[in-house]
Amino acid sequence: MLNYLESSTRDNGFYAFILTSAVIGASLFQGVEFHYVYSHFLQFALGATVFCVVLSVYLYMRSLKAPRNDLSPASSGNAVYDFFIGRELNPRIGTFDLKYFCELRPGLIGWVVINLVMLLAEMKIQDRAIPSLAMILVNSFQLLYVVDALWNEEALLTTMDIIHDGFGFMLAFGDLVWVPFIYSFQAFYLVSHPNEVSWPMASLIIVLKLCGYVIFRGANSQKNAFRKNPSDPKLAHLKTIHTSTGKNLLVSGWWGFVRHPNYLGDLIMALAWSLPCGFNHILPYFYVIYFTMLLVHREARDEYHCKKKYGVAWEKYCQRVPYRIFPYIY
């Protein structure tokens, strides 16, 4: 299936980002008032939510006509659950893959555009000539995350969202509402809650962010390269376990450190995004708390599927790599 997806999907998310940036830059140059998005934030979020409900109903209805082979392994036959998790794995209109398109582009690009709106709102409301250091850190960190995801768009093809879950309300809402409107919360918070960050503190936060990024990118790229070409000479130094499915599991390198090194890196970065907001309120830390719960639950789901898929080989892997996400803790 991976080969089929690879040959039929277009990895041009990064170019979509460049095009959007050019349009935003031109609009700013023409004096378009972006403050409107800040002052009507709730209305935009509500509009996106209504769109997702309509899209999910469409996805469910069309899945009723889909051939059995096109259904997601996560679908259960229960209408409510399937509406939520998605019944059809990769719904398409002609060659246009709806899930692949929605996974990164509208949500991630929308997220950084909203962050920019918050940066401009901060300057306007707080009467600043330049944005605060806290706002610059939040914007730059999250911009790096988004650009990295779009640059490595192809790595999406080996994630659970693409290979296991269908396209239903969960992913539609997550991709099109939750990511752009909730993940931009730190920038939103800073507009009305200024926080001065000293340079030594900023340096520590930058180091934390970079550590998280190195783990996150290293782990995701290593697994992606291994799944694409298990005999890649660059990965020849890594130890593997053979499984009865014919696929191997990495047991050294990042994947020998903990069983989900990519989640560990992601969580470290999430903490670095919240710290510029200071410690006066718990709300900027909502993302780290929610994301920890999401990834712990996601890890349990993945563990269940891998155990079913790989049986004894998976148990061997768990013995050799005992910690799930946090070394010596969990």
| Residues lying near ligand NDP in the complex (CB under 6 A) | 158-161, 216, 220, 223, 226-227, 247, 249-250, 255, 260, 262-263, 266, 298, 302, 305-306
Query: Please, what's the b/e burial string for 279-294 (b: 16 or more CB within 10 A of its CB; e: otherwise)?
Result: eeeeebbebbeebbee
Looking at beta carbons only, is 38 or 226 nearer to ligand NDP? 226
Looking at beta carbons only, is 180 or 276 nearer to ligand NDP? 180
Cβ of residue 198: shortest distance to ligand NDP, in angstroms? 29
Looking at beta carbons only, is 118 or 250 nearer to ligand NDP? 250
CA-nearest of 302, 305, 301, 306 to 316 is 306
Give, in order, the Cα–Cα distances in Å from 217 to each of 28, 88, 220. Answer: 33, 30, 5
The SS3 assignment for 327 reads coil
Cβ of residue 267: shortest distance to ligand NDP, in angstroms? 8
E strand or H helix at 256, and its extent? none
Q: Which two tokens stand for residue 82?
A: 């399937």
Strand partners, 240: 250
Q: Which two tokens stand for residue 214?
A: 């190195």
Looking at beta carbons only, is 90 or 195 nearer to ligand NDP? 90
Cβ of residue 208: shortest distance to ligand NDP, in angstroms? 16
What angle in degrees, to the nearest 10, is found between the helix axes of 133-151 and 110-125? 170
- Measured at CB, which residue is nearest to ligand NDP? 159
Looking at beta carbons only, is 209 or 223 nearer to ligand NDP? 223
Cβ of residue 326: shortest distance to ligand NDP, in angstroms? 14
Cβ of residue 291: shortest distance to ligand NDP, in angstroms? 7
Cβ of residue 316: shortest distance to ligand NDP, in angstroms? 11
Q: Which DSSP state fits 192?
A: H
Looking at beta carbons only, is 305 or 316 nearer to ligand NDP? 305
Looking at beta carbons only, is 132 or 184 nearer to ligand NDP? 184
Cβ of residue 5: shortest distance to ligand NDP, in angstroms? 13
User: For residue 45, with 0-12 CB atoms within 10 Å meaning exposed, 13-18 middle and 19 or more buried, which class applies?
Assistant: middle
Looking at beta carbons only, is 83 or 263 nearer to ligand NDP? 263
Cβ of residue 228: shortest distance to ligand NDP, in angstroms? 11
User: For residue 188, with 0-12 CB atoms within 10 Å meaning exposed, 13-18 middle and 19 or more buried, which class applies?
Assistant: buried
Integer-rounded Cα Rg, in Å, for the chain is: 21
Query: Please, what's the b/e burial string for 244-265 (b: 16 or more CB within 10 A of its CB; e: otherwise)?
Result: eeeebbbbebbbbbbbbbbbbb
Give, in order, the Cα–Cα distances in Å from 101 to each of 50, 175, 209, 217, 326. Answer: 19, 10, 28, 22, 32
